[in-house]
A and B are shown apart, each in its own frame.
Chain A
């Protein structure tokens, strides 16, 4: 099946610095990818929809200037957490959806655990 890969799997950064997370679709092209955030013992929260070649669409309450999304190719979307603070520590997950006839399935990356110290 299709594979979505995230890098890095985990990252620790100092408060005030920026962190970039990559999301790649390895064997299919994804015009649209999604970024989620998940705090411990909570569900996934959709942050934004990443659109290849155009601006991302952010969910209500998500700061677009803090969470920069770039989708420059059909296989790569990046999420940059700018000026990270401890409250940004979370599990970030990307996904892409594949439609094939009557089949529809979303593929998720393995997630990136961000710790801001």
Chain B
């Protein structure tokens, strides 16, 4: 499985945008970029995924570099409920299992 590198932790103030980076220099052509987050004492939840083009949904935006060796998860206005560990995961579309890295712990301050 291709490896991802994320900062261990990041901080943000409430209602400010947050940009969470992920490096994946060994990404293969068939790898999708998936983002999940885990709130304290809960199972992870899906945030967004993409292949080449930038993606938007109600939770976040995903900006993918042109060479696909990095991506950025964008939370447009952080709330206290966004405090979680965010995981960037690579994997082919048709693979079932997700292999989690260390993720980024996001703290949001009021």
Indicate if B99 sits at the interface (CB-CB under 8 A).
Answer: yes
* B102 A110 Cβ-Cβ under 8 A: no
- Stretch of A13-21, A61-69, A77-85, A100-108 lying at the B interface: A100-108
Q: Is the CB of A110 within 8 A of B42?
A: yes
Task: Kindly count the residue-residue contacts between A and B in the assembled complex, taking CB atoms under 8 Å apart.
Answer: 54
Task: From the candidates B36, B38, B103, name the one contacting A106 in the complex (CB within 8 A).
Answer: B36
Q: Please, how many angstroms separate the alpha-carbon atoms of A110 and B43 in the complex?
A: 5
Q: Is the CB of A93 within 8 A of B43?
A: yes
Does A46 make an interface contact (CB < 8 A)?
yes
Interface of A is mostly: strand
- A93 to B97 alpha-carbon distance, docked (Å): 13
Given A104-B49, A104-B93, are A109 and B43 neighbors across the interface (CB < 8 Å)?
yes
From the candidates A32, A43, A106, name the one contacting B101 in the complex (CB within 8 A). A43
Task: Give B78-110 interface residues, CB cut-off 8 Å to A.
Answer: 85, 87, 93-94, 96-103
Chain B residues with Cβ below 8 Å from A104 are 32, 34, 49, 93
Least Cβ–Cβ distance between A33 and chain B, in angstroms: 9
Question: Is residue B21 within 8 Å, beta carbon to beta carbon, of the partner chain?
Answer: no
Q: Which residues of A are in contact with B by a Cβ distance under 8 Å?
A: 4, 6, 32, 34, 36, 43-46, 49, 91, 93, 95, 97, 99, 104-111, 113
11 contacts between A and B (CB under 8 A): A6-B43, A32-B96, A43-B85, A44-B38, A44-B100, A45-B100, A93-B44, A104-B32, A104-B93, A105-B49, A108-B44
